[in-house]
Amino acid sequence: MSNGLNGKVALVTGGTGGIGSAICIKLAQAGCKVVSTYMDEAQANDWKAKMAAAGFDMAIVKCDVSNFDDCKAMGDKLNADFGGVDVLVNNAGITKDGTFRKMGPDQWNAVLDVNLVSVFNVTKQVIDGMLNKGWGRVINISSINGQKGQFGQTNYAAAKAGMHGFSMSLAQETAKKGITVNSISPGYIGTEMVMAIPEDVRNQIVAQIPVGRLGKPEEIAALVTFLASEDGAFITGANIAANGGQHMC
């Protein structure tokens, strides 16, 4: 079942990470040719080999999404190798938590650059191709903390909220050209990073989630794939929460 995705080229930034890997797999299962960005070559080759062993032929491209020139070089390579990108998932992200009073410019800028400036840097490389083809999907992985704020995360919450402002605006600019632009705001997902939180602290987090468990990377990936498919064509400018009921708005 491809639902319009067979043969489409999907670029997933940070696709080698916890949620990113699940997104790459689901898009590949839906028929996409999937390309993930990477930072560390050895780690990326390991990931590619693991994916190949599981039956997925993933492509990888080196790119620091916070660097515009790197993104430009990646865009040129993807145009040459694959004829452009049909589905872009802006998924790369980092945290550098600290209360605002203790937060320095480096901590602020790093998080804004990787989570938000990156969305400009990468989308800029693919949007003309989508406009020319009259079809495209841009899906931005935001966060529950961009919707409700979080103690110690002025940088991350500002970046993640900014992603949605970007989505709504670009959605309006491109809706008539067959392109949809949406955000997904996951709650706590059981990635390695979250599972590394001490069990007692994790239990306190789970206690705040009405469905009584962490989310699964595959659940975010399924939502991405739906938005990318033809069935998702009427959804644009939306911010879809996937948080087990932890925050409702």
Known catalytic residues are 156
Verify binding: residue 65, ligand NDP, rule CB under 6 A. yes
CB of 23 to ligand NDP, least distance (A): 9
Give the separation between CA 143 and CA 157, rounded to whole angstroms: 8
Verify binding: residue 17, ligand NDP, rule CB under 6 A. yes
CB of 39 to ligand NDP, least distance (A): 4
232-235 LR contacts (CB < 8 Å, sep 24+)? 232/137, 232/180, 233/180, 235/180, 235/182
Binding residue (CB under 6 A) for ligand NDP from 143, 182, 225, 229: 143
* Continuous segment of H or E residues that includes residue 14: none
Degrees (nearest 5) of the Cα angle 85, 236, 35? 20
Verify binding: residue 13, ligand NDP, rule CB under 6 A. yes
Assess contact for 230 and 3: CB atoms under 8 A: yes
**Contacts with 83 (C-beta within 8 Å, 6 or more apart), sequence order:** 9, 129
CB of 85 to ligand NDP, least distance (A): 15
Binding mask 175-194 for ligand NDP (x = CB under 6 A): -----------x-xx-x-xx
Verify binding: residue 123, ligand NDP, rule CB under 6 A. no
Helix, strand or coil, per DSSP, at residue 73? helix
Verify binding: residue 59, ligand NDP, rule CB under 6 A. no
Which spans of this chain sit near ligand NDP (rule: CB under 6 A)?
13-14, 16-20, 37, 39-40, 63-66, 91-94, 114, 141, 143, 186, 188-189, 191, 193-194
